[in-house]
Structure 1
């Protein structure tokens, strides 16, 4: 029996044995990755993958490059995520509180908790407006006191006009 080749299209001589150095990809024209180039995943890289997994593979790739300085392929990230049981499914994130994986309200764009807090704040603001309007509105007792004072003055003016034969307010208006 002869030596076993990993890829039948690999150009090896008849007597040449397979070694990692003899790996060559004829389609791309470059050597395939050798065992020396392969790197273990660090715990930091796995932590970054877990923290950014909800944003998708591309976001994890960018985060690994930015935070760890490692340029992992998307296939490598997908494989490692599968091994570590990390979901790379893109999930929704609440822009207010940052909770991941909840359904966002279509109108507000927030999670249910933040939506309810927003509605509560709106009601509190409306309540403050109503309280201010109520305070500005005159009290019934104040209105009654002003009306009594006005009636008293009208009666006094009417008596003066009758007693001294002066023109009333209505008569003065008609003369003009």
Structure 2
């Protein structure tokens, strides 16, 4: 095939590739920006304090305002539960006597619903997420960009067909 015939196709493909790369990169960064506060940090110790009087409030059917219904963690976080109540409490596999503390390592990225004795619902949601690293961002960019380029290139050929020079030797 003649190079002159291919040149407009290659030029269009290059322009679409650069444009698509920029658009996909910006869109992914906007997505990561929304996730940044919960997942873009190194693992840390997250403390949860069970205040005094919690057992009495739960027995009365009242919520404990300082304890959320769901917690979000990054893979590798450690949940440290401090029990300041006069009664013992449990959280999943942890039994926490009065005046003591226990910890739970978040070593698997999943959504958990664990039993707990310090919420009226008797369940606490634990959302363990993988941290957003540059490697994950590059994987997302590498997965989304090529497919988008191909689809936009094919779509552009349908919507804006190329005006290629006709071969005069094939004319009748």
- TM-score category, normalised to shorter length: under 0.3
Q: Which has the higher contact order (CA 8 A, sep 6+)?
A: 2
Query: Which has the higher Rg, Structure 1 or Structure 2?
Result: 1
More strand by share: 2
More helix by share: 1
Tell me the TM-score normalised to structure 2 length. 0.27
